[in-house]
Structure 1
Amino acid sequence: MSGEFWQTGLLGLCAGLLISVVTAPVGVSGAVFLLPVQLSVLGVPSPAVTPTNLLFNVVAGPGALIRFRRTGQLTGPLARLLLAGTVPGVVVGAVIRVFALPGPRVFKLLVAAFLLPLGLWLCLRTVRPSAGPPAADPSRSSVSLLALGVGVVGGIYGVGGGSLLGPILVGRGMPVAVVAPAALAATFVTSIVGAATYAVLSLLTPGDIAPDWTLGLLCGLGGLMGGYLGARLQPRLPEKALRLLLGGLAIAVALLYLAG
């Protein structure tokens, strides 16, 4: 194997590790940041970059989830509610990606327009909390509909749903310690379904649809280690710091997509 191959693989492993250490504490898989790295640095073609990102989620996900399970943070109904929406959504999104691909530039602008004010609002609300009554938890139906929409987006672009679910649910007043494990669990299971859907579609449709298995596995291995470390770090961070981190990540994603 060539030196360039090993250099690319090592870069992917390090990118997955570093990204996951920062994003796992707030329930973001890191795929949303890995996507531009794969396109611009690692040279993964489109649409293969989407299932490669999903493969990263599959390999990386257990790192943080094992840690959250050990601390008892995976109990509760939120993860099941999210899965009920994201699993069918990712199948629909994969089909849309292959057969009716929307322009990636439009997607980036829409995500940026959504996440930038949401991230700013979450940071401002954390620094200067309102004096009014705390926000009520979102209803089960609204969570399921939100998860369905996020699943479709994840199936189209291979981004972790936590980058969208987290800021919304935390912004509604839910604790990061509750949202993060559920969002990561939903991202993990949904990514398995999405990657399998792309594998089937690659047998039926010509083009670069199958994931880059080697690169996806290496990035995922880095994410596996980074996610475990990030989940261990979470209890050491106060809720205010976690909310600011989540809001900052939302702003960073928006600016990254605006620049792209």
Structure 2
Amino acid sequence: MIMTWQTGLAGFLAGLLISIVTSPAGVSGAVFLLPVQLSVLHVPNPAVTPTNLLFNVVSGPGALARYRRNGQLTGPLARLMIAGSVPGVVLGAVVRVFAIPGPRTFRLVAAAVLLPLGLWLCARALRPAAVDRPALSRRTILGLSLATGTVGGVYGIGGGSILGPILAGRGTPMTRIAPAALASTFVTSIAGAATYGVLALTTDGDVAPHWPLGLLCGAGGLVGGYLGARLQPRLPEKSLRLLLGALATALAVLYLVQGLTP
């Protein structure tokens, strides 16, 4: 892939704008950056996944710095999510390279994961009388982190962006979910990007990340993530849950259409 200055600028702006919208809900901008990379920036498969993970590594500190300044990175939730997601994302990287290299299957798998999560969270956010279920146990969070980390390694978004909607639907406040999910995404993306780097040394094809584009997208996400995290305390809980569900649903529909189109 040959990158022009127009492609680099488009990547920077995409990372900036997407991260402003997604970081208040605890979702990495990589969730929506991936279709931009596939359809607009034309990053080849499966290199698009490690490029997305590289974006997370560069962009993550922006939002995390703001959340730390707000005192929102305390508590065990982030540590539990990281402990389960790191081995999961390594496994997901192996699955992505050897079992799901093509873009069509990849999009259908992503849609199957995100669509039910998004619809469930939107339904709960739109029902004012709905009572949140009891919070999940530490063991359950650890197990879910492993599962969602594996999916996140395949998808290129870490694991926090998938586990976030589950925790929100169970009643965990968004002020706890957002910083923990982004911290998990940041750490697991480092592990995932490193795994893809090792696989690139032993596997043929476009496995390594596209470094210039990933860095430029990440630079935009670094600024956008900080701005989005700054907005988060000013947004109502119900709106954040609805935003998180709507983002997951919209992305799932997009991938479903793309995956089913010849």
Matched, 1:128 2:117: no
Residues in 2 aligned to 1:92 and 1:213: alpha-carbon distance in whole angstroms = 22
Identity of aligned residues (%): 72
Q: Secondary structure, in 3 states, of the residue corresponding to 1:136?
A: coil
Q: Deviations over 1:64-88 (max 9, x none)?
A: 0000000010000000110111100
Preserved contact between residue 32 and residue 160 of structure 1 (Cα < 8 Å): no
Bigger CA drift: 95-104 or 12-21?
A: 95-104
AA at the equivalent of 2:118: G
Bigger CA drift: 180-189 or 119-128?
A: 119-128
AA at the equivalent of 2:233: P
Preserved contact between residue 16 and residue 219 of structure 1 (Cα < 8 Å): yes
In structure 1, the gaps of 5 or more residues are: none
Preserved contact between residue 28 and residue 161 of structure 1 (Cα < 8 Å): no
Q: Counterpart in 1 of 2:164?
A: 166
Task: Give runs of aligned pairs for residues 32-51 of structure 1, distance below 5 A.
Answer: 32-51=31-50
Q: Counterpart in 1 of 2:93?
A: 94
Residues in 2 aligned to 1:48 and 1:131: alpha-carbon distance in whole angstroms = 42
Q: Residues 114, 213 of structure 1: CA spacing in aligned structure 2 closer, same or farther, 3 A cutoff?
A: closer
Q: Residues 101, 107 of structure 1: CA spacing in aligned structure 2 closer, same or farther, 3 A cutoff?
A: closer
Matched, 1:197 2:195: yes
Residues in 2 aligned to 1:109 and 1:47: alpha-carbon distance in whole angstroms = 15
Task: Give runs of aligned pairs for residues 148-227 of structure 1, distance below 5 A.
Answer: 148-227=146-225
Residues in 1 aligned to 2:39 and 2:234: alpha-carbon distance in whole angstroms = 34
AA at the equivalent of 2:27: V
Task: Give runs of aligned pairs for residues 228-243 of structure 1, distance below 5 A.
Answer: 228-243=226-241
In structure 2, the gaps of 5 or more residues are: none
Give how far 1:38 is off. Answer: 0.7
Q: Counterpart in 2 of 1:116?
A: 115
Preserved contact between residue 165 and residue 183 of structure 1 (Cα < 8 Å): yes
Size of the alignment, in residue pairs? Answer: 257
Preserved contact between residue 197 and residue 208 of structure 2 (Cα < 8 Å): yes
Q: Counterpart in 2 of 1:77?
A: 76
Q: Residues 233, 122 of structure 1: CA spacing in aligned structure 2 closer, same or farther, 3 A cutoff?
A: same
Preserved contact between residue 94 and residue 198 of structure 1 (Cα < 8 Å): yes
Q: Secondary structure, in 3 states, of the residue corresponding to 2:204?
A: coil
Q: CA RMSD for the aligned pairs?
A: 1.7
Q: Counterpart in 2 of 1:57?
A: 56
Q: Secondary structure, in 3 states, of the residue corresponding to 2:4?
A: helix
Give how far 1:157 is off. Answer: 2.3
The alignment's TM-score, normalised by the length of structure 2, stands at 0.92
Give how far 1:105 is off. Answer: 3.3
The alignment's TM-score, normalised by the length of structure 1, stands at 0.93
AA at the equivalent of 1:251: T
Residues in 2 aligned to 1:101 and 1:201: alpha-carbon distance in whole angstroms = 14
Residues in 1 aligned to 2:100 and 2:115: alpha-carbon distance in whole angstroms = 25
Residues in 1 aligned to 2:26 and 2:156: alpha-carbon distance in whole angstroms = 16
AA at the equivalent of 1:237: L
Aligned match for 1:137, one of 107, 110, 135: 135
Give how far 1:200 is off. Answer: 1.4
Q: Deviations over 1:33-57 (max 9, x none)?
A: 1111111111111111111000000
Residues in 2 aligned to 1:110 and 1:49: alpha-carbon distance in whole angstroms = 15
Give how far 1:258 is off. Answer: 1.4
